[in-house]
Amino acid sequence: QSALTQPASVSGSPGQSITISCTGTSSDVGTYNVVSWYQQHSDKAPKLMIYEASKRPSGVSSRFSGSKSGNTASLTISGLQAEDEADYYCCSYAGSSTFVFGTGTKVTVL
Amino acid sequence: EVQLVESGGGLVKPGGSLRLSCAASGFIFSNTWMIWVRQAPGKGLEWVAHIETKTNGGTTSYAAPVKGRFTISRDDSKNTLYLQMNSLDTEDTGVYHCAAGMGDSWGQGTLVTVSS
């Protein structure tokens, strides 16, 4: 099972919007709506930001939104803030009770 | 408050074994499927193993690199998740996190170092 493909880095100025892509295949992202996004600050545990491709857990800012089209899922951060600077990972169900993570994206707030 | 606390990590020689534990509280553990995820130093997250609830058969699944060497299990009476790791290799070095469901909650992780 190959890792889902994410851009290594994405940057933006405070207040801007950025989008992180997560490209898989018809065996994972393309077939299942079980796609999650996680935020990980340096040396911290990951935090769930989006589940089932577009749902936001309670307590997560509405500035975070998710979508999916075909084999690609996306995470958009609107109104970028300094605290959003972190690593972001997508994860998809891949059938037969297996999962696959993305390669990870480092978000930098300029 | 949901809490997941991993333990059991440490330094082990190649070919050795370790058993990790994850103590859960603040939610109905027996009703929740669980996963182990690892992160090698400076690298990304990697799914390791999954275990279903007993109600759903308690089935387990593993990532290809650990299949046949690692065993995930759970003790619902102790609200504890385990990961038995055998035939360890240097490639298994990293921080191991347990997580509830689809990563709704995560532990801080326990460091496993495989080195001679």
- Minimal CA–CA distance to B31: which of B63, B66, B79, B95? B79
Dihedral of the alpha carbons of B10, B11, B13, B14, in degrees to the nearest 10: 60
Cβ separation A45–B97 shorter than 8 A: yes
Task: Closest CB to A96: pick one of B35, B47, B61.
Answer: B61
Question: From the list A48, A97, A104, which residue is nearest B50 (CB)?
Answer: A97
Per-residue model confidence (pLDDT) at position A107: 98
Instruction: List chain A pLDDT tens, one digit each, 110 residues.
Output: 799 999 999 999 999 999 999 999 999 999 999 999 999 999 899 999 999 999 999 999 999 999 999 999 999 999 999 999 999 999 999 998 899 999 999 999 99
B83 within 8 A of B49, measured Cβ to Cβ: yes
Nearest to A101 among B46, B106, B109 (CB): B46
Interchain proximity B106–A100, CB inside 8 Å: no
- Quick one: closest CA in A to B52, which residue? A97
Query: What pLDDT does B35 receive?
Result: 96
Tokens of A91: 């994860």
Give alpha helix (H) positions in chain A. Answer: none
Q: Write down the pLDDT at residue A23.
A: 98
Per-residue pLDDT of chain B in tens (116 residues, 90 and over written 9)? 999 999 999 999 999 999 999 999 999 999 999 999 999 999 999 999 999 999 999 999 999 999 999 999 999 999 999 999 999 999 999 999 999 988 889 999 999 999 99
